[in-house]
Structure 1
Amino acid sequence: MDLLKLKYFQTVARTEHMTKAALELHIAQPALSVMIARLEEDLGVPLFDRIGRQIRLNLFGKAFLKHVDKALGALEEGRREIEDLAGLERGSIMLATTTLIRVADILGPFISLRPDVNFRITQAIAEDAMVNLLEKGEIDFCFATSAIERPGICTFPLETEEIVLAVPSTHRLSGRHSIHLSEVANDPFINLKSGYSFRKITDEFCSKAGFIPNIVCEGDEPAAISCMVRAGLGVAFLPAASKREMPPLHLIHIEEPVCQWTPYLVWLERHYLSLAAQSFRDFIMEHYGQTPIR
């Protein structure tokens, strides 16, 4: 079976859109359609349900995709292992994260030491999506906002960071240094959309304080939250590192409940890690000085 057909099928299965897949693969859409049709002919079954111009992966396609992901993932691992055996330590490290800002602080020191290493970074909304990428072999590591307890998953805790409340300069509590979270139970909140890990964590903080937050603005851009707070639209949870922003925000310590998070470096135990990826993991472990959790 032609490996190129498998790669094309994997891309079409992921996008469930012929035109998008063709653009991503840099081939003509009619040629891609022919390749998929030939693959289906080889297998003797349709892999997609076609409704008008839309396509959806069917039962046969979903079953076949699992094996295609494993096969192509194993070949990619083999390629990277051969590169290492040949002494090609330089390479790409593939990461996934829900928040790009936090990752920048972690990557900076490593890149300054190893400018020869390249990173490919994917932003994902949910941690389940990142774990799925790990298990398919599409990434080496992901940064999660909590420990992931699954067989074969290794997690390494990074530095625990306080979560604070950002308020506009005109807010009634702007002169306070600390509060109980229940004091803003009736305030309008700005946050990420449901599905983001940070949203899940902060919703739990509010639940512990005995209220459901009144979300007046929710979006996909973490960096935009600060702008909305400055505009006076509402209050928001932010990592304490936000105090470095220019212009600075008014950040208030939350006494009760305890509001903090611990990001984790996560990888798949059986996934082959290149020398570059191993050096990155070793750097993280040395920097944070702890033992990975299995």
Structure 2
Amino acid sequence: MEIRQLEYFMEICKELHFTRASVNLGVTQPTLSHQIKALEDEVGTLLFDRIGKKTAITEAGTILLKHCRNVFNSLESARGEISELQLLLQGNLSIGALTGELNQLVSTLLVDFHKSYPQIKLKVIGSDNLIERVIQNEIDFAVTILPTHDERISTELLYEEELYLIVSSQHPLAQTEKVDLDDIIQLPLILFPKTYRCRQQIDDTCQLKGIILKPIIETDTPETIVNLVETQAGVSILSKTLINIWNNKNIKIIKIENPAICRQVGLIYHKEKYIGSAAREFMSLIKKLKVSDF
């Protein structure tokens, strides 16, 4: 079993089309088919079902693909360690962060980091789907909501913060300092979709009291939520980190009690991935920030 054969195999898994895969790899289709046939002979079973013009991964192929990813992650880690012996703190660094943390936490460090290490090419991704990006080796590490519930991920807690009810300054609750969670169910809520980690933590806390939230609007854009709340289209529940981004004077923040809704934010990275000096240095800077700085 050769590395080249595994590379060919993974490209076909990606494209599910032998012709496209051969073009991407820069080899002829007969050469590609021959190498895959040799690989199938070695493992003793078919890796792909070829029905007409369609190609599908077999169960054996799925198993091999999982292990291939581990192999290539390990190889990349080895190359990274060796490269650092020759070129300390050079190369690429990919960072992922939730929108709030990207603005309030990561962005504050980017300028200083770039000045200290101008030879490092930085890539910063704002997203909610960060766990999958780490697993797929698309980013070196991420700042996201904990816990992750994935054995492939290592985590380090950064801080914990409460979520608050936000209302328009013209809302009847605008002069209220505190509100019980039970009372929120009666309000017209504007929330993130259920696929978002922040929404999931809100729902999990509500379920402890047998509360099921039924928002009138769901949107994946924090700015849209704030704008809708400002125009009195409804109210929302957001973290202080997100609220601080806009610092909107027409929005009032109300503490939620009985119980409070809290979230933990931390660093996540793949257990099998080698974390290079650049990534370690940036993570160290993040961990040195005080909670009050967030």
- In the superposition, the TM-score normalised over structure 1's length comes to 0.77
Residue 101 (structure 2) aligns with? 102
Query: How big is the shift at 1:111?
Result: 1.9
Tell me, yes or no, if the aligned pair for 1:144 and 1:263 is still in contact at 8 Å. yes
Moved more, 238-247 or 145-154: 145-154
Gaps (5+ residues) in structure 2?
A: none
Task: Give the match's secondary structure for 1:95.
Answer: strand
1-structure distance, mates of 2:5, 2:184: 56
Instruction: For 1:9 and 1:155, locate their aligned partners in 2 and report how far apart those are by CA, in whole Å.
Output: 32
Equivalent residues of 1:127, 1:197 under 8 A apart? no
Task: Verify the 8 A CA contact 1:83 1:89 in the aligned structure 2.
Answer: no
- The CA deviation at 1:31 is 7.0
Who is 1:42 aligned against? 38
Question: What aligned pairs does 1:114-193 form with structure 2 within 5 A after superposition?
Answer: 114-115=113-114, 116=118, 117-122=120-125, 125=128, 129-130=132-133, 132-133=135-136, 137-148=137-148, 154-193=154-193
Q: CA deviation at 1:198?
A: 1.0
**Is 1:256 the counterpart of 2:255 in the alignment?**
no
How far the C-alpha of 1:163 sits from its partner, in A, is 0.8
2:246 alignment partner in structure 1: 245
**Please, which of 272, 280, 283 is the counterpart of residue 281 of structure 1?**
283
Kindly indicate whether the alpha-carbon contact (under 8 Å) linking 1:167 and 1:229 is maintained by their aligned counterparts in 2.
yes
Output the amino acid matched with 1:43.
L
RMSD: 3.6
Pick one of 265, 268, 280 that aligns with 1:266: 268
CA displacement 1:173-219 (0-9 Å, x = unmatched): 22322211211212232222222211110112322454211122223
- Once the 2 structures are TM-superposed, how far is the Cα of residue 276 of structure 1 from its aligned partner? 0.8
Instruction: Write the mapping of 1:17-96 to structure 2, written as runs, cut at 5 A.
Output: 37-44=33-40, 45-49=45-49, 56-96=56-96
> Percent of pairs identical after alignment?
23
Pairwise CA distance, 1:159 = 2.5
**Structure 1 residues 205-236: Cα deviation after superposition (integer angstroms, max 9, x where no partner):** 32245421112222333443223323433221
d(CA) in 2 for partners of 1:6 and 1:80? Answer: 20
Cα separation, partners in 2 of 1:125 and 1:287, compared to 1, 3 Å: closer
Change in CA separation of 1:207 and 1:54 when aligned onto 2, cut-off 3 Å: farther
Q: SS in structure 1 opposite 2:189?
A: strand
SS, match of residue 146 in structure 2: coil
Would you say how many aligned residue pairs link Structure 1 and Structure 2? Answer: 281
The whole-number CA distance in structure 2 between the counterparts of 1:222 and 1:7 is 40
| 1:195 and 2:195 correspond | yes
Q: TM-score, with normalisation over the residues of structure 2?
A: 0.77
Partner-residue secondary structure (3-state), 2:268: strand
* Alpha-carbon offset, residue 141 of structure 1: 1.8
Distance apart, 1:81 and its partner CA = 1.4
- Determine the structure 2 residue equivalent to 1:292: none
Q: Which residue of 2 is the match for residue 232 of structure 1?
A: 232
- Contact 1:73/1:138 (8 A) holds in 2: no
Q: Whose Rg is larger?
A: 2
Tell me if the contact between 2:169 and 2:252 (Cα under 8 Å) persists in the aligned partners: yes
Q: Aligned partners of 1:189, 1:68: CA distance in 2, in Å?
A: 45
Rounded Cα–Cα distance in structure 1 between residues aligned with 2:196 and 2:12: 26
CA gap of 1:180–1:2, structure 2 versus 1, over 3 A, is: same
Question: Aligned partners of 1:196, 1:91: CA distance in 2, in Å?
Answer: 32
Name the CA distance, whole Å, in 2 between partners of 1:126 and 1:244: 20
Indicate the SS of the match to 1:114: helix
Aligned-pair CA distance for 1:85:
0.3
Does the CA-based 8 Å contact 2:73-2:272 persist in structure 1? no
